[in-house]
Copies of this chain bind each other. A is one copy, B any other.
């Protein structure tokens, strides 16, 4: 059979096969962030809107997007009080969850029932998740709404405390109302990240007041208008360290403050969670190397996660120079170069290479400190 004949068939077949430019395959892209000892690392988004408040997609789309983007769980949290579509779509606070859940069940994505209590500041907007009924929150006084949510066993968190719609200067402010809620046991966490906004003040409050840190998308539009199709990392996530992949285990972990926030390749959270994620991602493939004279030896570091870890270090050694910056690319192996400083050295020594992972933020001002022990045999060239 000649090439020409094949070519003609191929031209026809291209169409039939659906091999097509720019076409998206229906597929789930797993988010590679490792589990930690004792817990599964679940990727969750607890702040999601649909056409049943001011969102722009039919609810099942939220489950489909979550499945494709590798999420384990989402909460549907339409506004109680803000219903701009109501002249076309009669208010039904329970309905978006019902529709999304059917699709989630088909695809194995956990869909949780929530609502956004939407009030002026103070106290602002709050999500209540793990509700039994949403419509009972549709009351005049916000104190009643949050009390009724708490009464259902809901996990309640304060949304986007530095949102410029309620804080024109973008600075989060803590009001007496928040102290009141905290004392009543009706405030369990806060969004440290909402969409693309990070609130350093809030990060600090969570550490000081022992609150759960959340990072959520607050998505209104279809995901494809917000994040590149098929990429990982754009969508803000609450990482939940849970004993199981069930709604109950997620709820338990949220109340126990076992969360971290992932957004734009950055992780925000307590050291006890970020450190094992880093350790579970990284493998030093050859921790013992030989440096000959002033030549270089290369320690290879593999990173099986999807996170690019960005390391900075100040330390240098008398015997070898080491990089002051090193990016451990997600899914790749990179080189840590050790360059000899003497032609004649003949000895063996172990160095503890200390770095700060600047994109693992354990406080607003501090990255995670990590150490790589490297054993170097020095030999003349």
Question: Is the C-beta of A151 less than 8 angstroms from some C-beta in chain B?
Answer: no
Give A211 to B58 CA distance when docked, in angstroms: 36
A154 to chain B, nearest CB (A): 24
Q: Give chain A's interface residues, CB within 8 Å of chain B.
A: 3-4, 6-30, 51, 55-58, 60-61, 64-65, 68, 85, 88-90, 92, 95, 99, 106-108, 170, 196, 198, 221-235, 263-266, 285-286, 296-298, 300, 302, 310, 312, 314, 324-325, 327, 329, 331-335, 358-359, 367
Q: Is the CB of A333 within 8 A of B28?
A: yes
- Pairs of residues from A and B, 5 with the lowest C-beta to C-beta distance, nearest first: A224-B224, A22-B234, A222-B222, A10-B13, A22-B231
Q: Which B residue sits closest to A15, measured CB to CB?
A: B198
Residues of B within 8 A of A296 (CB): 106
Q: CA of A355 to CA of B309 in the docked complex: distance in angstroms?
A: 35
Complex contact B27–A329 (CB within 8 A) = yes
Chain B residue numbers with a CB within 8 Å of A233 are 21-22
Knowing A27-B329, A30-B333, A106-B297, say if A6 contacts B11 (CB, 8 Å).
no
- Choice from B13, B85, B107, B229 contacting A229 with Cβ under 8 Å: B229
What would be 12 A-B contacts, judged by CB atoms less than 8 Å apart? A6-B12, A7-B358, A10-B17, A20-B196, A20-B234, A20-B264, A21-B234, A22-B228, A25-B327, A65-B225, A89-B89, A228-B229
In the complex, chain B residues whose CB is within 8 Å of the CB of A329? 25, 27
B residues near A29, Cβ cutoff 8 Å: 331-332
Q: Across the interface, which residues of B come within 8 angstroms of A297, CB to CB?
A: 106
Query: A58-B85, A229-B224 are contacts. A9–B11 as well, Cβ < 8 Å?
Result: no
Closest B residue to A21 using CB positions: B233
Contacts of A90 in B (CB 8 A): 88, 90
Q: Which residues of B contact A298 (CB under 8 A)?
A: 106-107
- Within 8 Å by CB of A27, from B68, B226, B332, B367, lies B332
Chain B residues with CB under 8 Å of A227's CB are 22-24, 229
| A107 proximity list for chain B (CB < 8 A) | 298, 300, 335
Question: Quick check: A358 and B11 within 8 Å, CB to CB?
Answer: yes
* Cβ contact of A3, chosen from B16, B56, B95, cutoff 8 A: B16
